[in-house]
Each structure stands twice: as structure tokens, then as C-alpha cells.
Structure 1
């Protein structure tokens, strides 16, 4: 479905860049909300308006949603930085956007969370995201919650470990997931803009084990396969130690990674991009 005006928050991020491209290709009029306009270059200006604002500062968002039909927010952080917390960004910044959307009569608000966020609400990353999900559902606006599996970009961690010569896994390594490319996820989101009050859980076309992903990371770099499998109790001990002795800034992203990597996380498969091809392309940049 094509809306006359779409506000895209987080247009310069990994997913945001693919969303911007997909929206413009489908001839949607897009207002890209960015902190640094210089990061958006070589975009078809016939369908694009760039507005500079900071979602963590409500005053900069005043009337930002006037004339907007749908808001798509990819706003969120994996690692806390610049003094901002998950609550500052994943929750409050999105609340700021939601407030403006309600004031301006926006028809539809699309929010990108993550797979199984509703099941792992105790994780610091998900705590803030799911608080916003609750607020969005109670807002009275039409909504879509998108819960993607891990992005291909998140899978670079396996490439980095393989580059160092060893990949560490907990347990058998047979835990399965189907990570998704940003391009494929953008297509899912844009193709579902006409569907309201729903939740979409989506992953890539290939369901892969952690063992397979690790081997693919070594193979892409022509390195000998060296996977070290650690007992799961050690994973639990690391989690306990991090929560006990470090700040949420340190343990938040590690808690997320270690928790989701301990079990299967398989979503509805979609797309044409394959992780093996992504790894081969990334290896050329290493």
C-alpha cells in the first residue's frame, strides 16, 4: 500500500537506509527524520524531504508529524553510548514520536522491536522496547509491531571471532536461527503498511545452526575451522557475574547476545538474501 506521506525515524541506521530506499522506490513521499542530514546523500529528492531533529529532545520534534499518514520508527540502540540509556532511546524517544503522532492525527505507527522481545522482557534491551510496545498498543493509533530475527549486520560478530582464529559457542552449537538482511526486512515492512493492529515476526530464508554460521564465517575468510564449545553453565555464570559486577551499559548487549544464542529463535522465513553471500562480501572488506 502506498501512503501519501511517511515519516521515517532512524533513516541513517542499518535498517533505516534500506527502508528509505524501498519507500522511495514504491513512490511514497518520505520525510526522513535525522540528526545529521549530511549522512543522506544521492537520494531521489523528488520523493524525499529531510528534517533535522533529535528524537530524545521533544522540543525538536514539535509539529514534526503534521501532514503525515504513517510513522515508521527504527529508533533504538544496542549499545548504550553518549550518556543515553535504553530507556532514554528505545522507550522515551519513541514516546516523544508517538505523542507528536497522536497530536497530528497520524493514521498508522510502525515500530521495529526484535524477535521474542515479548518473551524476554526482563532483558535490559527488551525492557525498554516492550514498554514502548505497550504504550503504542494503548495509544489508540493503528499500529504494527515488527519483530525481526537477528540482522545480517549482527552476524558480523562471528566474522570477527573467525578472523581472530577461534569462534566460541555455548552448548552444542545446534541452536537455530534465521537472520534477515535489511533489504528483505524493508520489503516486508513496506509491503505490510496497509495492515494494522498486528505483529509481524520475520526472519531470513535460511534456518541455520550456530555451528553452520561459525563454519561459514571461517570459510568466507579461508581460515581453518576452529570452534570451541563451552558448557552452558559457564554462559549462565558469565551472565550472573556481569549483572552483579558491571553496569547495564556493559552487560546489556552481552546479556542480549548470550540469552538469545542459548535457544532456537526461528521466525517466518522471507527474502532472497543469504548469509553465506553476505559473509563472502564482508570478507573482501576485512
Structure 2
């Protein structure tokens, strides 16, 4: 696999769910890698001949000066699920990535790989996507080679089903027949590494199993050895919930819930990839 060694990859977001798997994969492939992190001690274990850890904060452009020197490809999984520490989606998903992109341009980086989400463009009106897609626009206009990776939900997002299952009941909107194929971080990391040498500008990807929400609910209850209790709520309640959240709470609270409630209403099926199965993930989470 040494063909990669001449081109250094910089990864931002290595302490997140997906970033952790990408960092591991880069290290296993022995690719020359720089990991940009706020707290280096978290990734100490990955430091090696090929992996360098650099302390910097993507939200602070001055801390990024020079990080892209000698880098051929940047991979960014930088983003927040929930707004906290006074940081908004615009501060992180848009501005922090833009800080990195500006630094990449200055250093003559060839390619920038960014992980957004499936149908991001269609759902621009959602707080979470508004910032991500604004960055996608900037990336497309940057003049760099780029690949935008659009996963169809992570296994980690499906923990909401397990949390409901712990209470003994799964609540779904509509008939629960909406389909999706979420993907494990380990499988998605492979896609991100393949993107380094890919000529595609966009990769839409999901996991190997296309499941209905009813099936995911049953799996979550099954993993906890609970009887199957799935309650179907009329869709008007879901629409009212989104309206009420937008009206009466801050985007900090409603961002992730709005995202979940909107995407759960329709089929989200992506090209299938990978070998890791959701049922096994649920089992691992419950042991």
C-alpha cells in the first residue's frame, strides 16, 4: 500500500465518531497523515512514524497557520450534531471548515474531501444542513479538486431507537415503512480513503441493509430482549412537533430533533456499501 506515502493527508475532526475510524484506517494503511486536534492527548495512541498529531482549533484561523504545508489531500469530518459551548452550526460546520479550506488553498493542497449528508441540498432549510451546504458551495467555488461524501445516516444516529427501546416502546410517525440504510463509521472510513484517488465530486453511500423504521425498531427492542411494542403516531403530530420546536425553542435545541423528524418522514436509500450490520451494532451497544 506504499503508493500513498508520497502524499500526505490531513484529517480534521479525528476525535468524532467518523473521524476516529478514518484516523485508524489512515494509520493502518501507513499513509503519511497529520491529525489536527484540539486536545492531542486524546489521540496519543495513534502517533507513529506515519501519523503526526498537530494541536490546533479549526474555529480559530490563527491556530491553523501552516498546518497544510506539504499536504496533498485534506479530509474534513468537522461538524457538530448539537450546538454547544456557545458555538453554532454556522461557526463550526461552515466557518471552521472555511478556515481550513482557506489554509489549504494557501498551501497548494490539491484535493479537499468533505463529509456532509445525504440529500443535504434538498434539506437546506434545516439548521444542520444550512451551514454544511453553505460550505459545500464554498468548496465547489474554491478551484480545488473536491469530493463531497453524503452518507445516509450513521449507526451512531440510530442509538435514538435503542434509547426508546430501553423504555419498552418505539414511537414512529406514519406507518413506519419509510426505508433507510445507515452506515457504520468503519465502513464509511473506507469510502473516505477511496475518495482520495477517486475522480468523483460526490459520493452518496449507505450501509448494506435497507431497513424500514419498523424493522429498526424491532431490532432495537430485540437487542434489549424486550417484547415488540411499536406505536404508530399520525404524521400530523410529527409536523406539529417540528413547528412547535421551531417556534418555541432555540436552534440549539431543535437542530438535531428537526433533522431527525424530517429525515424520518421519507425514504432515504443510498447505494449500498460495507459489511457492518445494524443489528450487530445494537447488540454491541447493549452488552
**If the length of structure 2 is used for normalisation, what is the TM-score?**
0.97
Map of 2:148 onto structure 1: 145
CA RMSD in angstroms, aligned pairs only: 1.0
Map of 1:99 onto structure 2: 102
Of residues 190, 201, 204, the one that matches 1:201 is 204
Q: Once the 2 structures are TM-superposed, how far is the Cα of residue 192 of structure 1 from its aligned partner?
A: 2.2
Map of 1:183 onto structure 2: 186
Map of 2:26 onto structure 1: 23
Misfit runs of 4+, over 3 Å = none
Query: Any residues of structure 2 matched to 1:61-80 within 5 Å, and which?
Result: 61-80=64-83
1:266 aligned onto 2:269: yes
Unaligned runs of 5+ in 1: none
Instruction: Give CA deviations for 1:259-280 in whole Å, capped at 9, x if unaligned.
Output: 0000000001000000001111
Unaligned runs of 5+ in 2: none
* Number of aligned residue pairs: 284
Q: Distance in 2 between matches of 1:25 and 1:62?
A: 28
Map of 1:276 onto structure 2: 279
Secondary structure at 1:41's aligned position in 2? helix
Deviates more, 1:32-41 or 1:87-96: 32-41
1:45 aligned onto 2:48: yes
Map of 1:60 onto structure 2: 63
Secondary structure at 1:111's aligned position in 2? strand
**If the length of structure 1 is used for normalisation, what is the TM-score?**
0.97
Q: Distance in 1 between matches of 2:160 and 2:53?
A: 32
Map of 2:226 onto structure 1: 223
Q: Distance in 2 between matches of 1:44 and 1:25?
A: 12
Q: Assess if the C-alpha contact under 8 Å between 1:142 and 1:197 holds in 2.
A: no
1:235 aligned onto 2:233: no
Secondary structure at 1:50's aligned position in 2? strand
Q: Distance in 2 between matches of 1:88 and 1:282?
A: 32
Deviates more, 1:43-52 or 1:252-261: 43-52
Q: Distance in 1 between matches of 2:165 and 2:157?
A: 14
Q: Distance in 2 between matches of 1:171 and 1:216?
A: 19
Q: Distance in 2 between matches of 1:206 and 1:86?
A: 30
